[in-house]
Structure 1
Amino acid sequence: MLLASTLAATGAGQATEAEASTVAGELSTAADFPPNPIEKPGWRLDRNDEFNGSLDPSLWVTNYLESRTAEWRSRARYNFRDGALVLRIDDDQPEYYGNGNPMKVSSIQTGQKTNLHKDDQFDHSIPTDMKYTPKYGYFEIRAKSNARSGFHTAFWMIGRQDTWAQRGEVDIMEHAGIHGRSSFNYNLYPWSDPNLRLVQDRVRVGFDMTTEMHVYAVEWTPTQLKLFIDNVHVHTINQSLDYPAVFFLGAYERAEWTGDVDPDDPRPKEFVVDYFRAYSSDGGSSSDPLVSGATYKIKNTGTGQYLDSDAAGALVLTGSSTYDDQKWVARKDSTGAWVFDNVRSGRGNLDTEPNNRVIWNSGDVYDDSRWSVEEASGGFRLNNQASGRDYLYASGSQPRWNTGSTTGNTVWALERQ
């Protein structure tokens, strides 16, 4: 039997809101739960990584919240085994902070920026690199955890923090050794979001999370966060983040609340993840021209050239390549406009400047980096939201913006990657 029950707040300094407990039906207790088919009825696959021997560089950052520590301390330790990702804490792994705090981390995440998540530590500024930051959908992993001393694993998400209030955190599956082999935390932390209330829940399962692969998922809607285990809906938080989020897969040792490490407990300590899959609803968003969070190449239909990022903010139009320079993550923001984030690490959003210049920026989102996507014969027109700046168009080897002309070189094909 699998049940979700309320967990008292543990050191958070806030009262816990008790959400409705849920009892699910009998689940498998003696074997792995099989992988789900990649096609999910009622949902459209946005992004996925099956972890078949490599990480998708257009999806993952392999440095954990790098601005908080030295870059080399933030690097994930990982390998692949039997078609799955293995995140490791090794004997020789450096402490994350290096200031006497003993925590060690191996984490991958779908976005990165300076001061993301918490601002209690700072080491250096980093480029904004938001690879996949959806708003709403269905997100699942198939994984096996590890109940070890001073150790925990987590599948979680945080607001991408376009504003200071957008910092809510959802711990979809947070399994700590101190909680044994068959329970995990399902939490919502408001941090600086005034519209959220703290929820800390313990979910108890009828299987051994450390010896069996199981499926953990969240359905994120505008009003709820629904937890699923092995495709069974087991719990609901009747609140929701109303802004895009960054997703994390992580293994952590000595993260303050998880206790001390038994010196006789050998490393490596592991978090094994078979796949990560992200879906958007087939309903409601089908009228949108793009899938928010998906990656596209942007091709001018008049010239056949692709929008390509270059050094120092420059953009060029050139022939097709397989490099990240030509890949852009489309994200629909809270204004209803689209933002295009270059996949290449350290290169930000498609942006306009005076004198018809089109550039990539450092990751800021203002009207000059917001675009409406308008259907046109043979493709789409991208209309910049800054006053007096209209359609993106091709001019020789350079992209430009105009003041309203709709000639053929203002039409772009958006090729889903």
Structure 2
Amino acid sequence: MSAVTAATTGDPLPAPPDRAPDLADDFATGPRSELWVGHYLPHWTTPDRSAARTGPTEDGLRLRIDEDQPDWRPEDAPMRVSNLATGTFSGPLGSTRGTHRHRDDGLTVRTPTPTRLLWAPSAGRVDLTVSATRDAGCMLAGWLVGTEHGGEQDSGEVCVFEIDASAIGTHTVARTGLKAHHDPRLVTDMTEVVLPFDATRPHTWTAIWGAGRTLIGCEGTVVRRIEQASAYPLFLMLDLFEIGPPGGSYPKSALLHRVRGWTLG
């Protein structure tokens, strides 16, 4: 992946739609159950391993990794995660059907989950205001992933951002772009962008997708123009990962301040 600066396009993002968002949460009372599932891909593991650790603050919602938190799957250890998602889908127990088949090592359904499309637009816009973390071994991410409930090829991903704690300083390096996964209609197109600020402060990412085009922006400026877009429902996922052996002080955490989403088309 090549590195570019966030200011290289110089183009402002389009204004959001002039109407109330279809998805809106400031997390004042924690994640709202009608908007969020507080588990990370629960169908591929068990509820005790997929459950998010969170806590409301006056500034939003804290995603936490706690010292006693189990690995997401024993096969992936050491890796712990707290995630919010706008829906779930899986096939029956023992099947390989389910949202986000992101690994090639034999993911099978261990906990069947209902099809819940809490917010899953085929074209849309989302604005995510977050503060990343410098806690060792951690990554904060925001993704839009194919639900796959309509077909296994409907699996592409808009990677709005991935920010490693080790990549944060006076400037921040973030990964962003598009991942095809199992969708032959898409081509993976990921890169790194250099943001001219410390991403542990509140900042806003934007993704706009549909009609064969994806825009990704940060702080009101376009950082990626991708002449591809999926045309099937996508779930929003917001994740804090700890990857690697436990260490340092706990809890490790990042903040979700605000989410706004619009269904388009």
* TM-score after normalising by structure 2: 0.86
The one-character-per-residue Cα deviations of 1:29-85 (angstroms, maximum 9, x if unpaired) are xxxxxxxxxx94545521211111222211101111111111111100000111401
When residues 206 and 193 of structure 1 are mapped into structure 2, their CA distance, relative to the original with a 3 A threshold, is same
The one-character-per-residue Cα deviations of 1:153-173 (angstroms, maximum 9, x if unpaired) are 111111111101100012101
Corresponding position: 1:267 with 2:250: yes
Aligned amino acid, residue 244 of structure 1: P
Task: Give the aligned partner of residue 6 of structure 1.
Answer: 2
Aligned amino acid, residue 213 of structure 2: Q
* Corresponding residue to 1:240 among 221, 229, 247: 229
Q: 1:47·1:278 contact (CA, 8 Å) conserved in 2?
A: yes
Q: 1:54·1:80 contact (CA, 8 Å) conserved in 2?
A: yes
Task: Give the aligned partner of residue 69 of structure 1.
Answer: 45
Task: Give the aligned partner of residue 116 of structure 2.
Answer: 129
Task: Give the aligned partner of residue 261 of structure 2.
Answer: 278
**Deviation for aligned residue 1:228:** 1.5
Across the two proteins, how many residue pairs are aligned to each other?
Answer: 247
Task: Give the aligned partner of residue 79 of structure 2.
Answer: 103
Q: 1:90·1:268 contact (CA, 8 Å) conserved in 2?
A: yes
Unpaired stretches in structure 1, ≥5 consecutive residues: 8-18, 26-38, 255-259, 286-417
Task: Give the aligned partner of residue 33 of structure 1.
Answer: none
In the aligned structure 1, how far is the partner of 2:155 from the partner of 2:7? 27
In the aligned structure 1, how far is the partner of 2:112 from the partner of 2:155? 19
Task: Give the aligned partner of residue 26 of structure 2.
Answer: 50
Task: Give the aligned partner of residue 141 of structure 1.
Answer: 128
Aligned amino acid, residue 39 of structure 2: N
When residues 41 and 134 of structure 1 are mapped into structure 2, their CA distance, relative to the original with a 3 A threshold, is closer
Unpaired stretches in structure 2, ≥5 consecutive residues: 91-97
In the aligned structure 2, how far is the partner of 1:129 from the partner of 1:57? 12
Corresponding position: 1:116 with 2:87: no
Task: Give the aligned partner of residue 35 of structure 2.
Answer: 59
Task: Give the aligned partner of residue 293 of structure 1.
Answer: none
**Deviation for aligned residue 1:145:** 0.3
Aligned amino acid, residue 23 of structure 1: T
Corresponding position: 1:217 with 2:206: yes
The one-character-per-residue Cα deviations of 1:321-380 (angstroms, maximum 9, x if unpaired) are xxxxxxxxxxxxxxxxxxxxxxxxxxxxxxxxxxxxxxxxxxxxxxxxxxxxxxxxxxxx
* Runs of 4+ off more than 4 Å: 19-22, 41-44
Task: Give the aligned partner of residue 66 of structure 2.
Answer: 90
Task: Give the aligned partner of residue 203 of structure 1.
Answer: 193
Q: 1:44·1:280 contact (CA, 8 Å) conserved in 2?
A: no
More RCO (CA 8 Å, sep 6+): 2
Sequence identity, in percent?
A: 25
The one-character-per-residue Cα deviations of 1:89-134 (angstroms, maximum 9, x if unpaired) are 0111111113462110100100111221117322232222221111
In the aligned structure 2, how far is the partner of 1:138 from the partner of 1:130? 17
Aligned amino acid, residue 238 of structure 1: E
Q: 1:22·1:235 contact (CA, 8 Å) conserved in 2?
A: no
Q: 2:147·2:154 contact (CA, 8 Å) conserved in 1?
A: yes
In the aligned structure 1, how far is the partner of 2:239 from the partner of 2:38? 10
**Deviation for aligned residue 1:135:** 1.5
